[in-house]
Amino acid sequence: MTTSLLRSVLIATGLLLSSAVCGSELPGRWTVTVENPDHLVVATLKVKFTDKQARSCMAGEWRVLKVISATTRDKDFFPTSEALAYRIEDKQLTMGRNEICDAYLWLRGPLGGPSVQGDYISFGLGGGTPLGYFNMSPAK
């Protein structure tokens, strides 16, 4: 098999598998920091991605995001004590509150490196509102 053909097969395989990623693809514990619009850390969570199906008002393959520990400066900023879910679709990680219909709080960012950075948004019938940012890396 030529190098270019092998490369094409590997790329196609990666694209086909990207929508099938689950918690076992994000092994171990992760540290998530949630920031306000001024990049001040408001909440820090240690989480574990599971393969267990989550309840969600949103369509798609949502899995349980287990919170191991959490600290927050403002309990109303990010729902650290509520049920959280996640999904990975097209190399995009989305995690947050999905059980309160039309009042979603999501952290969204692209996968592809050892850490993930993205946006914190609220989303509902009226559209989306930016609330801040997040960073996620393997827990130490």
Domain CATH for 88: 2.40.128
Are 25 and 18 contacting, i.e. CB atoms less than 8 angstroms apart?
Answer: no
Residue 67 lies in a domain: yes
- pLDDT tens-place string over residues 119-136: 999 988 888 999 999 999
Check residue 21 and give its pLDDT. 41
Reply yes or no on whether the pLDDT at 13 is more than 60. Answer: no
Residue 68 lies in a domain: yes
Q: Which domain holds residue 80?
A: 21-138
- pLDDT tens-place string over residues 42-101: 999 999 999 999 999 888 999 999 999 999 999 999 999 999 999 999 999 999 999 888
Distance CA 89, CA 91 (A): 5
Residue 16 lies in a domain: no
Check residue 24 and give its pLDDT. 60
Residue 8 lies in a domain: no
Residue 12 lies in a domain: no
pTM for this prediction: 0.81
Residue 7 lies in a domain: no
Residue 14 lies in a domain: no
Check residue 123 and give its pLDDT. 87
Residue 11 lies in a domain: no
Check residue 77 and give its pLDDT. 96
- Map residue 96 onto helix, strand or coil: strand
The total number of structural domains in the chain stands at 1
